[in-house]
Structure 1
């Protein structure tokens, strides 16, 4: 097994190909029984270190609990037994307490010949079991920004990975389209907007509305300062600022169904939805179902009433309703205010239940939300379990760290966020600059160039964000992400395009066609070919591991490992200039298999690959 990235290595150390591992484990247990008359319960495997010959290593030390003796001698005896009884084991060597097994070329070639289509390799057909993945879930008072981008890319990629692992998936979001923050933009536009629209300003609707959210904050801060100068305390000034009071009155009118306010709300939200759609299209993501907070904020109250009857909740003297989670190491959580109004927790309880009603095949949900909401989701999941919903045991909070820039933390109200649309454009411009400097696209038409720049820029952004473990905070560096060397999207895209160039040249030669079993019989593997095959083998398991861990980073870093190994093969082994037709055909098909898996893996991250670069 090749050297794996730090994100995947710990997981892959015990895996090469599960079927072979099961065979080896069975035979090793037989060897211990036959050679020593002892019963071995389990066998520990790990990847063979790069400085030793071998493909998989058996760790002897744990066996000393049941077999007394020198670990080197025990390893020698087991190795000899495996060479004699397992056709896939060609030879072995023992280093201290580690038995390194060398697998035969035939084993790897049989694997390669058994896969008819590497473009679908590793992906499982969808079963009846369904998962719902929530991501994005923006507020309708501002455009999407860099923080949203990590959320969206993570959620979309996890949805695609879970789907590839064999589950049916529904992609969804809940749009936060009501509340005081929405009214702030509405008040500012009503006061200062002079009737301007996206059409009259040429701005995307979400950007226009976002400008008024920033405008509200500036006016609010100014009014606070004026009230403090007039002798008010800061707390009094914040509460009595006229523009805030106007927003609060507007919210009350909206909740009362005031026709004029509701019409304004629908108009401005409509601008935002149109803007969001353009951003989602640029990011290449989609949704199957949409939920709106204006429809769901009253959901959950009926289940609070039921929970009161069954003892899940209790009522305090002021009439408020709570859930006692102290036995679970948490605290008491309010689910209904004393005036009978719902809180966010109530809404989330109701929305989760409604989603399962809408999609009865859903057996679990994944919530893509930043780590500042860790506690909220612990409480939500516990309450749903207490209410008796079986699917609640399959709820997962895909918690992720924030995204920082070299310039510092972003703040929406102050207008210091990095707008998602601007970032996508900047990434495309950076890709254009670097591509033109490399000077390899002179033959492209202007339309082809523009498409390539977007593909590279978008791929750079997505890969840079997704290659990092979701739990870790990211310092995003746009220039670094578009580097054509190292662990970047463009480096992998370039390798894919290079392989397509090889395949185009191969197709010009009629004698180089698809390989068959007879062709493989005449192939003797070069060490570099073997290393590529080892990593190709891992792809189905990588998909399953990434789905289990909800981690696109495993897919990203697996792809980088595959590309590094292919490039080493490409630099050391002639492909089109191979000595025999059989070698040429095999190496061409091996290159094609690598490109198919690159394309497949990148599709799970929402990244496209260019045919030429």
Structure 2
């Protein structure tokens, strides 16, 4: 039982003893820095059950806790806030229980139920861009956090590999490509295909402009431009299974998949299962037919099928056109059901999709509930805001997107420039430097995006993200590297006395953290604050998993690093003359480093041993 649970139980006892009232719950919050204490009990909510002055009630509870909880060494009351001081011995005991536990904060998966997390889900007519980066980083990190909280997780994506937008790239390549391939051009396959998506748009706009100049209404020109009519004809041929069109589709899509795989590898994300829209776009029609029989859906006079959600504050939604063809909603219904068939242990899904689809997912989840699927209560839309640049919005058709590969390369180069200015890499080989620049650059990119609440829009500034000061990835990575330097110096210090068995024993204690330390010692305030911050890690993982928010992990890590740097500035570690104190501080530094590494692993970020 943690200290908060102990206090909660004893506060309820105190209220019952003093007022003969059963308190349903106890509200806690961290103690403000300007007051003495470690945990604050909020008295004001108790006034609904207990009549009296909040300060007097707080003092009565404080007296009771000091008498009945050995970990409580003092308290003070400020208005309706009871600030409780927890003994150094409690924090030292806690620290000594976690020294040898690997993956501190992670829970072992004991559940038979799984969660499926969908992310990325790109179109195969263009390369991945900055918006996809936020999507992938969020989805991957959420999957890792949910896994760390003790659940089984499947990572998946649905690749949008069919439709008019795909045919636009295919047609433009057919017209203007002269048979060029990724091999003949040296371009990644997804970039080559994206080049022809842009080429189609240029031709289309030129045709519309020419038609308007000839006196044709713009609305008509936009619908009847010759190249668009050709693309629509190609789509009809694809749907009819035309051998030549299907062969071209397979060839160009294979180029894109190879390009995507390279980008995913460089970004550090992966998937357990891929779904393709070309295989799923007909799913759901049989579900609609079954829903019609059950009265979930209804048919209009033109033969189209709808669902009425007005009683739930939404509107009427079409699920099948009058010609019997499916809409996206139909496909999403069918795909969700298919996933549970493929993975029977899946009892919940997380869809990582931009906030422009908020309404779509409200409707989808409600339809699945009305169809009677129990797991529909465990569906979540991980809605996120757009990523903007100082230069403005991105537009795929006009070729003004920020390409994901180019951005990752630029981040590496930016990190290289800043790291070189800071120096300290003289003994690195060229390969070691390049690897370090990549770790710093990608860490900066990932942290900058993940530290922000998913729902918020982001203005991404590459230069700002690679700053070695403030709430940035490189600042945290630098602190981790500093800790590793302390540990290396500690080892060097004791290796100097290798011939002395007594010194060697001390080295074992210092570096391998096998013995309890500091139990008889008082804690420096900075040591205590650092242990308190470490103690929050498991609860932070739990909250981040419940809220599907990597930002909670990112900002926890920043707070931990700030606390460590304050500790580092105010206490001597290797210069401490008391061996017990020195041992505690080295081991405390080591544990902070491990927590940083574990937390960043959940964000998909590497930490360097040296910087």
| Residue of structure 1 aligned with 2:345, choices 353, 356, 361 | 361
2:22, 2:335 → 1: CA distance? 53
The question of whether the paired residues in 2 share the 8 Å contact of 1:59 and 1:97 is answered with yes
The question of whether the paired residues in 1 share the 8 Å contact of 2:14 and 2:61 is answered with yes
Helix, strand or coil at the partner of 1:498: helix
Corresponding residue for residue 532 of structure 2:
534
Corresponding residue for residue 256 of structure 2:
272
Q: TM-score, normalised by structure 1?
A: 0.95
2:320, 2:215 → 1: CA distance? 37
**Does the alignment pair 1:414 with 2:403?**
no
Corresponding residue for residue 597 of structure 2:
599
**Does the alignment pair 1:156 with 2:124?**
no
Helix, strand or coil at the partner of 2:425: coil
1:595, 1:184 → 2: CA distance? 51
The question of whether the paired residues in 2 share the 8 Å contact of 1:118 and 1:597 is answered with no
Helix, strand or coil at the partner of 1:218: helix
2:49, 2:268 → 1: CA distance? 56
**Does the alignment pair 1:95 with 2:93?**
no
Change (3 A) 1:518 1:20: closer
2:284, 2:150 → 1: CA distance? 32
2:195, 2:465 → 1: CA distance? 29
1:527, 1:246 → 2: CA distance? 74
Corresponding residue for residue 497 of structure 2:
none
- Map residues 229-308 of structure 1 onto 2, 5 A cutoff: 229-308=213-292
**Does the alignment pair 1:500 with 2:500?**
no
| Residue of structure 2 aligned with 1:207, choices 176, 183, 191 | 191
Corresponding residue for residue 578 of structure 2:
580
2:265, 2:21 → 1: CA distance? 63
Corresponding residue for residue 351 of structure 1:
335
In the TM superposition, residue 19 of structure 1 has moved relative to its aligned partner by: 2.5
1:269, 1:87 → 2: CA distance? 67
| Residue of structure 2 aligned with 1:608, choices 600, 606, 609 | 606
1:133, 1:362 → 2: CA distance? 10
**Does the alignment pair 1:131 with 2:129?**
no
In the TM superposition, residue 61 of structure 1 has moved relative to its aligned partner by: 2.9
In the TM superposition, residue 65 of structure 1 has moved relative to its aligned partner by: 4.0
2:332, 2:303 → 1: CA distance? 21
| Residue of structure 1 aligned with 2:308, choices 307, 310, 324 | 324
Corresponding residue for residue 57 of structure 2:
74
Helix, strand or coil at the partner of 1:521: coil
**Does the alignment pair 1:393 with 2:391?**
no
Helix, strand or coil at the partner of 1:327: helix
**Does the alignment pair 1:86 with 2:69?**
yes
1:16-48: CA deviations, max 9, x gaps? Answer: xx7222221222222233334444333222211
Helix, strand or coil at the partner of 1:412: coil
2:339, 2:477 → 1: CA distance? 38
1:92, 1:337 → 2: CA distance? 69
In the TM superposition, residue 66 of structure 1 has moved relative to its aligned partner by: 4.2
| Residue of structure 1 aligned with 2:558, choices 547, 550, 560 | 560
1:226-250: CA deviations, max 9, x gaps? Answer: 1111111011111221110110111
Helix, strand or coil at the partner of 2:317: strand
Corresponding residue for residue 44 of structure 2:
61
Change (3 A) 1:36 1:364: closer
2:520, 2:234 → 1: CA distance? 79
The question of whether the paired residues in 1 share the 8 Å contact of 2:299 and 2:306 is answered with yes
Change (3 A) 1:152 1:234: same
2:339, 2:610 → 1: CA distance? 43
1:328, 1:37 → 2: CA distance? 45
1:527, 1:267 → 2: CA distance? 65
Q: TM-score, normalised by structure 2?
A: 0.96
**Does the alignment pair 1:402 with 2:386?**
yes
1:137, 1:250 → 2: CA distance? 23
In the TM superposition, residue 282 of structure 1 has moved relative to its aligned partner by: 0.5
Corresponding residue for residue 161 of structure 2:
177
1:309, 1:35 → 2: CA distance? 63
Helix, strand or coil at the partner of 1:25: helix
How many residues are aligned here?
A: 596
| Residue of structure 2 aligned with 1:315, choices 274, 278, 299 | 299
Corresponding residue for residue 219 of structure 1:
203
Helix, strand or coil at the partner of 1:334: strand
Change (3 A) 1:42 1:239: closer
In the TM superposition, residue 78 of structure 1 has moved relative to its aligned partner by: 2.2
1:116-153: CA deviations, max 9, x gaps? Answer: 43540110111211000000000000000000000000
2:514, 2:252 → 1: CA distance? 62
**Does the alignment pair 1:26 with 2:9?**
yes
Helix, strand or coil at the partner of 2:275: strand
| Residue of structure 2 aligned with 1:476, choices 441, 448, 460 | 460
2:50, 2:375 → 1: CA distance? 46
**Does the alignment pair 1:146 with 2:130?**
yes
1:41, 1:286 → 2: CA distance? 45
